Structure 1
Amino acid sequence: MYRLFRWIVRLVSFALAALGIGLGGLWYFAARSLPDYNASYSLPGLSAPVEIVRTTENVPHIFGATDTDVFFALGLAHAQDRLWQMMMLRRTVQGRLSEIFGARTLKTDELMRRLDLYGAAVASVPAQDPATTAALDAYARGVNAWIETVNQDALGRGAPEFFLFDAQIAYWTPADSIAILKLMAAQSATQIDTEVLRARLSLLGQGWVEDLMPDVPGAGVMALPDYAALFPSAPRDSRGANADAEGALSPFVEPAFAAASNAYAAAPARSAAGGALLANDPHSPLTAPSLWYLARLELASGGVIGATIPGVPLILSGRSAKLGWGIAASYADDEDLFVEELDPQNPERYRTPTGWAEFRTRKVIVAVKDATPVTLTLRWSENGPVLPTGHFDLATVTPPGHVMSLAWSALSPADTSMSAALAIMKAQSVDAAVNAGAGFIAPSVTLTLADQKTVGMVTLGALPKRDAAHATRGRMPAPGWIAANRWQGRLPYAENPRVENPEGGIVITTNNKMIDRPFPAHVSYDWGDTERVTRLTRLMGEREVHSRESFIAAQLDTVSPAARGLLPLVGADLWFTGAPAPEGTPERFRQRALELLAAWDGDMNEHLPEPLIYAAWMREFQNRLLRDELGPELAAKFIHLQPLFLERVLRNTNGAARWCDVLQSAPQESCTDIARVSLDAALLSLKEKYGPKIESWRWGDAHEAHHDHTVLGHNRLLGWIMNIRQSTSGGDFTLNRGVTEGDGPEPFANVNGAGYRGVYDFADPDSSVFVISTGQSGHPLSGHYDDLADLWRRGEYVPMSLDPELARAAASGITRLTPAEPEP
């Protein structure tokens, strides 16, 4: 027995030693890719020495003799910290994910190949102005210089993820940067989904479109045509839908998760300190690392500092000494679906206004890891690329013998958005920045501006010119063979919504309806917000003058206008009714919940139980209304709260209270009946998960921020290392926005929010502040992987200074780049 015990001890010791050696080896090779921020490099492609001064938060301040040298260094800094993220963004837009991930990303690759955004980016390179061409070339040289340094010095392949996926790292090109800007348009693309969903509801009849997808309040819009009348052969029962998503790692997301933002500015006359103020917080899916990366560039036009996206040589939201700018998704309708009729005699042809025409076609091969390559035949009509029916639920609204094509501004092969954005970054005034935006094509964004004298706002992006006789006004797929439905160019930039030097001295956007013009100058019928704008309008109007602190307070505000508006309606006949019920009964539990909600002010604070009760109640209430009429598949398209819909139902607008009557039951249920049953069901579910003591429930336990690694985050072991989780306040409709998952085991998890926050104060520019949601580094072994995450969660910031001496005083490292000696 003793001998056996000795052998067991030896085997266990050997296994532990082997495990330790293995883990040590993994750590060694992974740590090799951690950059040395105090190193010096002699590199080709530079005209003079450059310094990259890293602050304690790892924000690079880049000083060079020329702009091209500065952009070179930015490319190198991006690659040092976010090489894997950059390669993933590029592979996504190229449709080459399956080369390393296999068949699970094939659907995404197919869609991206058919759209050919990358081909449009390549074609757009010659369209850039000389300064932008030079910046793109220099930036690509900087990225490639770091790739070469990694290879020559065996620096762990540049990122630990490359050890897990055997992917070759191709050199960076100017087209790659333009393509990533186009990829951002995909994250903002919502009109495809809304057109299809509106058509599906139209096919079901019952007037459900007007209730579930009502027009944003404002001056009227004419009624929609009947989709079934346009396409008599379209499927009549569109309840069934494609159960799968657009594909693994797809940049296209449900409208609730699409890019959004808050941006607002106050002119000097509305500022307590006499200088203009600007705040911006772009919203996007929360990831680790964040989409955003902070940087400061010292250019010939002056210093600029703010938020960049790795892969793109631009400060997309930030400030210079004279100008501040912020971006927000505009929700402009720059996408239209067209139903193309196929020739029954030859399906390679389609109907046009002048007769049958052949599709433009091209074959491409998609390489798939551990599987046979897939050959795709890409097709284009005169309206745009033909989309596969397996995406966006297109099969549910595409008549037999037809296909669906897409017109989209982001598909432009002469896209000068990069040049326009670079000119905005170098502008010295609001007026100059507005003029510089003329060449911006996609993604369409609302640009908020502030200089030392005034503030302004303008919608950037190519807005399609539509005929007034368009059959669906772009709200649903339209017959592509009717000339009046087709795009007729773009509206002049002068017609884009804009305001400069407003009389009230304040401009705001929360992705809300910004303008009320008749079609076809309408900009959009679908907007990204109807709730946050009411709260921001109130906060901006409560003060005669504002300060940096009041702008920060608004940015971090967690009061839900939706909660304040819906609770009095849904609980109108439930508050304080009936005798007190005995302790321990469901009735008493309901009464206690209603007592808490009656005294609640709508603050979605992470430490309170009321936000959790409200969110669970509204989710259960809406779900009961929708599943009864629409069925589970179509109801699943509305997993997030629809405040306008619920308000219509509870106010019985145009008879909308009919949604409360359960079709399958004999009695006629009222909205009060459904509200009571929904509250009881929600409380039972919460009690099972969080315990019987209602006062101990915390919204933050359910509304945990999920900053997950996009690739490794789903692996149980690696996710524990790579993912960042935090209890957070806020909700779907608060200014401090935290969009919930909506479904699954954690429906209230915070998965989409402000990846970047910045507040710029021109009374004291160096008191401006910013923060991102994770850290600057994408390397999990780096101390800068998540060092800003706690600041972000607590609503804190770091200074935004353009003072070189302050940057050097706080330097945690200085990387020195010198031109390489020419080879003899």
Structure 2
Amino acid sequence: MNRSARSFLASALVSLAAAGCAPGALRSPSPRTDGATTLAGLDQAVTVTSDRLGIPTIHAASRQDAIRALGYLTARDRLFQMDLLRRSSGGRLAEILGRELLEADTQQRRYGVERAAKAILARLPQGQRAALDAYAEGVNAYLRSAEALPLEFRELGYRPEPWRPEDSVLIELSMFQALGGSEDVERSRTVLSHSLPPNVTAFLFEGTDPYTKALLGAQAAASPPLPREELRALVSRGRGARTAVLSAAAGEAPPGSNGWAVAGSRTRDGRAILANDMHLDLGVPNVWYRAELRYGDTELAGVVLPGMPVLVVGTNGHVAWGLTNLDADVMDLVQIEVNPERPDEYRTPSGWRRFDVAQEAIKVRGEPDVAAPVRATIWGPVASRPLLGRQVAVRWTALDPEAVDFGLLEMDRVRSLEEAARALNAAGGPPCNALLADRSGRVAWTITGRIPRRRGFDGALSLPWADGRAGWDGFVPPPQLPRVVDPPSGFVVNANHRMPLGEGAPALGGEYANGYRAYRITERLRAARPVTEADMFQLQLDTRTEFFDFYRDLALRVLTEAAVSPRPALAEARAALEAWDGRAEASGIGLPLLTRFRRVLADEVFAAWLDTSRAADPTLELSLTDIDTPLQRALSERSPDLVPAPEGGWDAFVLSALEKAAAEVKRQHGGRPLDRLAWGAVSQVKIAHPLGVTPELGALLNMPVEPLPGCGFCVRLAAGTLGASERLVVSPGRESDGILHMPGGQSGDPSSPHYRDQQRAWVDGRPLPFSAGPAESTLTLSPDRAERRAPRGDQPARP
């Protein structure tokens, strides 16, 4: 579920939860974790043991039986989460939550996500389709046998429909959006390219920050010239009040991850060690579900996404793999030329063609259905918003049946780095960096997912494709995807930054995360030898952040040069900045002011530079991942002509921004003195259940709100609701030495002992074992050959 859908969901649930869900109604019959039951479709009996944290180990005779059991167990522990994910992806939230979700549903219907899921399912290889069928059988077996549904269904007044194989596809498609499937970047670039001089857009979109340049070395491209005269002209066009143009997410940590693998040459006994912490929006229950599957000679352990029969990251005992967001450019906005005489037609390379038109009926809780018109082209659906006055179509790998599959299933059979890389390169799905470690002590990096092979353009800007000169020519063949195997350094690292690809490598994207996390990890690994799993886990918790040094030094330099004694706010700011120790520990002083100072500077400078662009598109909100490279280059000039400086020039501009930041921080924190305001007052863990939207329900359903170390530019990433959804460290074949923890717990049932029993370790940064512990319960699932009545469909929601 993307962030906009989450905000709609929260507002919709406030009234529903307050009206319908009483704290005393949160008890449910405990789902069965031991004893025996039947599961239709099994070929042979399956035994499931669960440890003290509720982590299941599935013992089965075949992959299909193991997946059936996984579907049963995941539905037992996470049924509402699974249903919410498929509804969000397919555009069916309003029918259970009301009109507030209509906009989010309409967007999904316009994209045609449900239709894409069915087309993807029809094209899957037989083995993958069989896996989805088996998973659905397991989920539906639980639906038939459950003594009572989870409390969310009771309180919202509906019954979940039977699980379909295409529902697992819907959930995979939701990950495309969770990892950044948005039109915003190309929209921003296109507006700016039409409203600014070319050298200004090149400067704004350089896309390679100083930390990444240090990592790339000789492969780093030269920075474009600083366009001083053009920026001065943009700033001078208006010195009055300007509207902020940066989006709330601009320059902040995007969904992503840290991942690295250390070769045996850097460990005591030759083992290779993989570390992976995936950064996603956090909620209750957690996005991941821990599981171990054993069948034949296969032993899988790691995490799965509820609703999908795939181990996303983990190990099979021979190879361990982790993933980070690639931030690949896999979406293009195609400008549409509409026939002026027949507006139901548009131009294509083969002539005029009619739009494909349909009416989507969106069910709305307590109201009549709403008709949503949907139009599509040969390139993809027509976007809901025009771009610079022209309609555009969305060409996106997530909607292409040739680009999405469940190839990660094949990771259960790989036995070497080369086999693993081939399997990952061949797999469809959200494009990701893949970090690998194998049992012989070797490590590698490559990518997974389909990358468009563009013709006639680079994908940065929206263009027309009607003349055939621009378009996609399929996807980059798997053997041509980049790899780094057995590097001389003895380790591979990715933290969503631009990787060194080498000459002739295909273009992957342009909106990479700032390279500081990767730089910090690399520096720590260079200095570490020999390393252990414990060392890697401690690196995942690193809170040093040199990223903010620039802004601290800028402020202190101006404070030193200016006379600030008559201005108490600035004297207090100086004390706070001088107290900062360079880390994002919860008890640290100074970082609350630094982070706000950076944002005030960025908002004011970009608003001055982009006043012309906002005039061209009044809706413009710049979604730029790297705001700091152009901002710092301009600020380093110390020129009042490059920034919206007031009377008094450069120093006055910086001091004004610092005073504004100080006032905002003090106002947000009850006037607390800046030199006594700890980072933990700003950085707090707030992990909420969808129904935990009132104080009474929040106390029962949400995780506790408390200070959390880390920041958006720390290895220990923590930024609002974005954080480490798991921390995994493992050496294949030595899983007993591994580490794995996550927020919350295994169960989505608030009355379960496993609802929050991993939360404390996650907050405190304490390791939990990677492998499931001794069995505390045993459940036997036996084949049921008898015909079973299908579960009932949705029941009408209560008024």
Q: TM-score by structure 1 length?
A: 0.83
The C-alpha deviation readout for 1:485-518, integer Å capped at 9, x for no partner, is 2111112112212112222221110010013568
Task: Indicate whether 1:755 and 2:740 are aligned.
Answer: no
The C-alpha deviation readout for 1:612-645, integer Å capped at 9, x for no partner, is 1211222222233234454698786469883223
Which of the numbers 201, 209, 212 marks the counterpart of 1:209? Answer: 201
- Write the distance in 2 (CA, Å) between the matches of 1:779 and 1:450: 35
Q: 1:657 to 1:294 in 2, by over 3 A?
A: farther
Deviation at 1:697, TM superposition (A): 1.5
The C-alpha deviation readout for 1:427-453, integer Å capped at 9, x for no partner, is 122111111124322211111111012
Task: Indicate whether 1:429 and 2:419 are aligned.
Answer: no
Aligned residue for 1:227? none
Task: Indicate whether 1:511 and 2:496 are aligned.
Answer: yes
The C-alpha deviation readout for 1:719-745, integer Å capped at 9, x for no partner, is 332222231111111111112xxxxxx
Report the more deviating stretch, 350-359 or 175-184: 350-359
Deviation at 1:265, TM superposition (A): 0.2
Within-5 A mapping of 1:63-74: 63-74=59-70
Which of the numbers 456, 461, 478 marks the counterpart of 2:444? Answer: 456
- Letter of the structure 2 residue corresponding to residue 435 of structure 1: R
Which of the numbers 691, 704, 709 marks the counterpart of 1:729? Answer: 709
Aligned residue for 1:562? 547
Aligned residue for 1:45? 41
- Write the distance in 2 (CA, Å) between the matches of 1:256 and 1:589: 26
Deviation at 1:88, TM superposition (A): 0.5
Which of the numbers 474, 477, 483 marks the counterpart of 1:492? Answer: 477
- Write the distance in 2 (CA, Å) between the matches of 1:822 and 1:519: 59
Percent identical pairs in the alignment equals 26
Aligned residue for 2:256? 260
Q: Secondary structure at the match of 1:487?
A: strand
Aligned residue for 1:351? 347
Q: Secondary structure at the match of 1:432?
A: helix
Which of the numbers 754, 773, 781 marks the counterpart of 1:817? Answer: 781
- Letter of the structure 1 residue corresponding to residue 336 of structure 2: E
Deviation at 1:28, TM superposition (A): 7.3
CA contact (8 A) 1:90 1:179 kept: yes
- Write the distance in 2 (CA, Å) between the matches of 1:526 and 1:456: 23
- Write the distance in 2 (CA, Å) between the matches of 1:722 and 1:165: 16
Which of the numbers 570, 593, 603 marks the counterpart of 2:576? Answer: 593
Task: Indicate whether 1:523 and 2:493 are aligned.
Answer: no
Deviation at 1:763, TM superposition (A): 7.2
Deviation at 1:262, TM superposition (A): 0.7
Task: Indicate whether 1:482 and 2:450 are aligned.
Answer: no
CA contact (8 A) 2:576 2:589 kept: no
Within-5 A mapping of 1:628-667: 628-630=608-610, 637=622, 642-652=627-637, 658-662=641-645, 667=647
Task: Indicate whether 1:801 and 2:793 are aligned.
Answer: no
CA contact (8 A) 1:446 1:458 kept: yes
- Write the distance in 1 (CA, Å) between the matches of 2:672 and 2:494: 42
CA contact (8 A) 1:732 1:738 kept: yes
Which of the numbers 163, 184, 192 marks the counterpart of 1:172? Answer: 163
Which of the numbers 689, 692, 697 marks the counterpart of 2:677? Answer: 697
Which of the numbers 382, 400, 404 marks the counterpart of 1:412? Answer: 400
Task: Indicate whether 1:775 and 2:766 are aligned.
Answer: no
Q: Secondary structure at the match of 2:335?
A: strand
Task: Indicate whether 1:323 and 2:306 are aligned.
Answer: no
- Write the distance in 2 (CA, Å) between the matches of 1:292 and 1:114: 28
- Write the distance in 1 (CA, Å) between the matches of 2:169 and 2:639: 47
Q: Secondary structure at the match of 2:368?
A: coil
- Letter of the structure 2 residue corresponding to residue 430 of structure 1: L
Which of the numbers 725, 735, 757 marks the counterpart of 1:765? Answer: 735
Deviation at 1:257, TM superposition (A): 6.2
- Write the distance in 2 (CA, Å) between the matches of 1:656 and 1:310: 53
- Letter of the structure 1 residue corresponding to residue 263 of structure 2: A
RMSD: 3.1
- Write the distance in 2 (CA, Å) between the matches of 1:240 and 1:588: 29
Which of the numbers 291, 298, 303 marks the counterpart of 1:295? Answer: 291
Aligned residue for 1:541? 526
Deviation at 1:415, TM superposition (A): 4.7
Q: Secondary structure at the match of 2:420?
A: helix
CA contact (8 A) 1:276 1:763 kept: no
- Write the distance in 1 (CA, Å) between the matches of 2:451 and 2:250: 22
Q: Secondary structure at the match of 2:367?
A: coil
Question: Mind listing any 5+ residue stretches in structure 1 that lack a counterpart?
Answer: 1-21, 224-238, 246-252, 390-394, 740-749
- Write the distance in 1 (CA, Å) between the matches of 2:251 and 2:285: 23
Task: Indicate whether 1:219 and 2:221 are aligned.
Answer: yes
Q: Secondary structure at the match of 1:318?
A: strand
- Write the distance in 2 (CA, Å) between the matches of 1:45 and 1:738: 43
- Letter of the structure 1 residue corresponding to residue 477 of structure 2: P
Q: 1:634 to 1:656 in 2, by over 3 A?
A: farther
Aligned residue for 1:398? 388
Aligned residue for 1:194? 185
- Write the distance in 1 (CA, Å) between the matches of 2:505 and 2:392: 22
Deviation at 1:676, TM superposition (A): 1.6
- Write the distance in 1 (CA, Å) between the matches of 2:247 and 2:561: 45
Task: Indicate whether 1:616 and 2:596 are aligned.
Answer: yes
Aligned residue for 1:81? 77
Aligned residue for 1:276? 272
Deviation at 1:704, TM superposition (A): 0.6
Q: 1:184 to 1:766 in 2, by over 3 A?
A: same
Q: 1:380 to 1:668 in 2, by over 3 A?
A: farther
- Write the distance in 2 (CA, Å) between the matches of 1:360 and 1:668: 60
- Letter of the structure 2 residue corresponding to residue 555 of structure 1: Q
CA contact (8 A) 1:87 1:169 kept: yes
Question: Mind listing any 5+ residue stretches in structure 2 that lack a counterpart?
Answer: 1-17, 210-219, 226-241, 789-799
Q: Secondary structure at the match of 2:158?
A: coil
Deviation at 1:660, TM superposition (A): 2.0
Within-5 A mapping of 1:375-394: 375-389=371-385
Q: Secondary structure at the match of 1:347?
A: coil
The C-alpha deviation readout for 1:302-352, integer Å capped at 9, x for no partner, is 211111110011110111211100011111111111110111111111112
Q: 1:614 to 1:242 in 2, by over 3 A?
A: closer
- Letter of the structure 2 residue corresponding to residue 783 of structure 1: P
- Letter of the structure 1 residue corresponding to residue 258 of structure 2: N
CA contact (8 A) 2:482 2:501 kept: no
- Write the distance in 2 (CA, Å) between the matches of 1:525 and 1:215: 6
CA contact (8 A) 1:257 1:285 kept: no
Report the more deviating stretch, 39-48 or 210-219: 210-219
- Write the distance in 2 (CA, Å) between the matches of 1:255 and 1:677: 21
- Letter of the structure 1 residue corresponding to residue 759 of structure 2: A
Q: Secondary structure at the match of 1:465?
A: strand
- Letter of the structure 2 residue corresponding to residue 448 of structure 1: L
Which of the numbers 690, 706, 710 marks the counterpart of 2:686? Answer: 706
- Write the distance in 2 (CA, Å) between the matches of 1:417 and 1:118: 15
The C-alpha deviation readout for 1:438-481, integer Å capped at 9, x for no partner, is 432221111111101211111111111112x32xx211211132
Deviation at 1:297, TM superposition (A): 0.7
Q: Secondary structure at the match of 1:386?
A: coil
Higher relative contact order (CA 8 A, sep 6+): 2
Deviation at 1:823, TM superposition (A): 6.2
- Write the distance in 1 (CA, Å) between the matches of 2:21 and 2:709: 40
Q: What number of residue pairs does the alignment pair up?
A: 736
Deviation at 1:111, TM superposition (A): 1.4
